[in-house]
Structure 1
């Protein structure tokens, strides 16, 4: 990816410099460390920002037009803030328009802008390149227009953009971690209340290694709907049986799931067992990280994958293969699938001294079993969205500013 200074050179060659306010901004992708399929059950998730970002440069215009150039698609599109219409052909621009739409719904009158963006968050891998684009767009528009938008409000605004304008019913996790993440911290999110807590992940002996299976995710939508329906069946059952208000599986205890196993269908029981036990694993992981107990955290990751594979049945041959190969490598404390399932990525907790050996072993073992060459990314917990301070008159290009 180009440096920020190189991006400014491209920007000025394309748009010039009209003397109005300008700035450069960055927002990261994310990986969910643990807490899968708990979000729509009012549960807990524990993502971290990764060291892959979408970077956007912007400058105000004298009108109400937005010109936005995607370096990755090598395409420029133009739209008027007074007439926002969904683009069915160039779907990436809908994330930009959606954010502008939600900002204006809040009563803010935006000025026109010239925008250029690029990113190295792998698309289609479940690492939230779309949320990173939304958040960096919101940060750019807010800062250039001198709008005071609280970080939580900005994350919720970006979620609303994806829900309302793009038309994807996402939860809050991706936008929260991209906006609120901090270096060397994971982020515990309560998906019922939207409350969050930064959790230290500071031990430099370990790295998170993400392995992209490159498996095609053909069943996600239909199976996702089936899983939600089965969870809702479990909620209705327990609401009737337990004599208290049960609005989500978050409200059910693990021993209660076991107590009524015989009265539930096998599939509904296993779905409920996964969600309730996964919530417990997230909270146990938080305690393990606070106590710097990475061996415990790694074991919880392994248990999470087993539950996703056997109880929730959202893994696939390729993901199981990546986890099996990972757990045979020296220096690996934990491995699990991450994301919706049926493809996508695994997340692995690896001793820093064995990262290179791990990567070699995964590439060889996975290709031997599947014929696929996996993509592998190594990351520490990264900083959330931020303005990049660049002095165009000879200062320090690409210096990170504060996340604000």
Structure 2
């Protein structure tokens, strides 16, 4: 019993938690960089989750402990938010306070097996788990969509990533058995079944990404906003014909072409497609991210190409914000382990360091 999370919480804080909450990471099947353009996305949850245990602090400070980092950080409302894992937690608390909710000092104990830096929304999982925990602790009258919006604001204002709403919506609403179609303008959503006879495989390229560290993510959003301004629309979601962006100068033309074609791919993908066609859309999406949006890197491109060449793989693409991270593949049911083993072996022989993330138990390479 000494290794149970509850006993760990008690060792750190000297008391027992009042409640706990969790949230999964996500992988995006289609719809990359469309959410901040008011567009359409198609994520699904992954098995890995972030869990927080939470209780009231015995003093005037917040206390946050990460089991993964083995680090305890104490924080009061007068302190500057440090740029660590607590950035997301403190950001959520600050946004809740700006919404008019009084958040008393809390103890928060975090455990997570959501990979960091792989493009699987470890930050959103931490935000949503934290917000769910605080909602339960204080009985806050906030629904899931509002919590997702608060998590998004925390990431924008405090972590410095000018992100869309997809990651937080997926973390709080998606499950591992279906995809979640989200219209990020209206925030309407609905589950969508995977193509018949398929499962997903997620492999980390070994190239970590950090969207807040000058990776170009915020620049891409600014380019899209400038493109929409020139085209006279509220957002690129309002353009449906890729030919309409041909009037733009480079690189705006290519950035916009990706967003328009990616939205169209999502809208086609939700029409109960056979696996072969869904996979073709994934392959086209990767090419668009690589060539038009320019957010891929050699380790990811090599991994996508390897996956796309293996029998039993219907399609594969970069998933997440880009500039590193993971590839997601749609594969024939029952074949994920065998395909993963071959893909990892070939990726390593090419000089890279990929590793399997989903299925959750790594296969031998």
Question: Same fold by TM (over 0.5)?
Answer: yes
State the shift of 1:132 in Å. 0.8
Q: CA RMSD in A?
A: 2.6
- Matching residue within 237, 246, 255 for 1:271: 255
State the shift of 1:101 in Å. 1.6
Going from structure 1 to structure 2, the CA distance change for 1:295 and 1:161 (only over 3 Å counts) comes to same
Matched, 1:57 2:53: yes
Alignment of 1:60-79 (within 5 A): 60-79=56-75
Higher RCO (Cα < 8 Å, 6 or more apart): 1
Going from structure 1 to structure 2, the CA distance change for 1:366 and 1:10 (only over 3 Å counts) comes to same
User: Unaligned stretches of 5+ in structure 2?
Assistant: 361-365
Give the aligned partner of residue 100 of structure 2.
107
1:249-270 Cα distance to aligned partner (Å, 9 max, x none) = 211232643xx73x44454333
Going from structure 1 to structure 2, the CA distance change for 1:154 and 1:254 (only over 3 Å counts) comes to same
1:138-163 Cα distance to aligned partner (Å, 9 max, x none) = 11111112222211111111112222
Asked if 2 retains the 8 angstrom alpha-carbon contact of 1:62 and 1:111, the reply is no
User: Unaligned stretches of 5+ in structure 1?
Assistant: 240-245, 381-404
State the shift of 1:353 in Å. 2.3
Following the alignment from structure 1 to structure 2, what is the Cα–Cα distance between the partners of residues 269 and 147?
45
Alignment of 1:148-187 (within 5 A): 148-187=141-180
Matched, 1:251 2:238: yes
User: SS of the counterpart of 1:314?
Assistant: coil
Asked if 1 retains the 8 angstrom alpha-carbon contact of 2:65 and 2:71, the reply is yes
Matched, 1:362 2:346: no
Give the aligned partner of residue 315 of structure 1.
296
User: SS of the counterpart of 2:25?
Assistant: strand
Asked if 2 retains the 8 angstrom alpha-carbon contact of 1:185 and 1:202, the reply is no
Q: Between Structure 1 and Structure 2, how many residues are aligned? A: 359
Going from structure 1 to structure 2, the CA distance change for 1:232 and 1:117 (only over 3 Å counts) comes to closer
User: SS of the counterpart of 1:210?
Assistant: strand
Asked if 1 retains the 8 angstrom alpha-carbon contact of 2:36 and 2:163, the reply is no
For the pair shown, which has the larger CA radius of gyration, 1 or 2? 1
State the shift of 1:226 in Å. 4.9
Asked if 2 retains the 8 angstrom alpha-carbon contact of 1:48 and 1:181, the reply is yes
Following the alignment from structure 2 to structure 1, what is the Cα–Cα distance between the partners of residues 140 and 253?
48
Following the alignment from structure 1 to structure 2, what is the Cα–Cα distance between the partners of residues 176 and 357?
32
Matched, 1:85 2:66: no
Give the aligned partner of residue 269 of structure 2.
285
1:36-76 Cα distance to aligned partner (Å, 9 max, x none) = 12222221111111111111112224554322211111111
Following the alignment from structure 2 to structure 1, what is the Cα–Cα distance between the partners of residues 109 and 124?
17
1:19-48 Cα distance to aligned partner (Å, 9 max, x none) = xx7122211111111111222222111111
Give the aligned partner of residue 212 of structure 1.
204
Q: TM-score normalized by structure 2?
A: 0.89
Alignment of 1:128-139 (within 5 A): 128-139=121-132
Deviates more, 1:91-100 or 1:264-273: 264-273
Give the aligned partner of residue 192 of structure 1.
185
Give the aligned partner of residue 375 of structure 1.
355
- Matching residue within 22, 25, 29 for 1:26: 22
